[in-house]
Amino acid sequence: MARLWAKIDCLFFEETGDLTMAQQVAFLRLILHCKRHRNDGHFGAAALKVERISKAALSGLIEHKDGYVEHNGDGGYVIPNYTKWQGTSEELSAKRAEAGKRGAEKRWGSE
């Protein structure tokens, strides 16, 4: 299985210093969850349970002045600007398809 990578700023903890450690970890877990499930930053209640995100941590992310998480209107949540930094699932699929073609050409030659 190919690995997925998420883009996280090296100064993440400094830039989010006004969040609690629980909120910082929750936000990181949500970014990674969204990347793994290729859902463009959208997630529901099931993700909160799987990622062990507390209601307090989620509320802090929603209520924060920078709005790390928002309600998406469908009963779930979204990480604003997720696709700006992580790309869309469509872009990821296109990159992987192109990489697969290059790999096949390298191995088998092009026709």
Q: Which residue has the tokens 């924060």?
A: 64
Q: What is the pLDDT of residues 16-55, one digit of tens each?
A: 999 999 999 999 999 999 999 999 999 999 999 999 999 9
The DSSP code sequence of the chain is: ---------TTHHHHTTTS-HHHHHHHHHHHHHHHHHT-TTEE-HHHHHHTT--HHHHHHHHHSTT-SSEE-SSSSEE-TTHHHHH--HHHHHHHHHHHHHHHHHHHH---
- The residue ranking higher by pLDDT, 106 or 65, is 65
- The residue ranking higher by pLDDT, 6 or 111, is 6
20: tokens are: 């609690």
Q: Which residues are CB-contacts of 100 (< 8 A; sequence separation ≥ 6)?
A: none
Q: What is the average pLDDT value for the chain, to the nearest integer?
A: 89
Average pLDDT over residues 73-82: 94
Q: For the whole model, what pTM was predicted?
A: 0.80
Average pLDDT over residues 66-83: 95
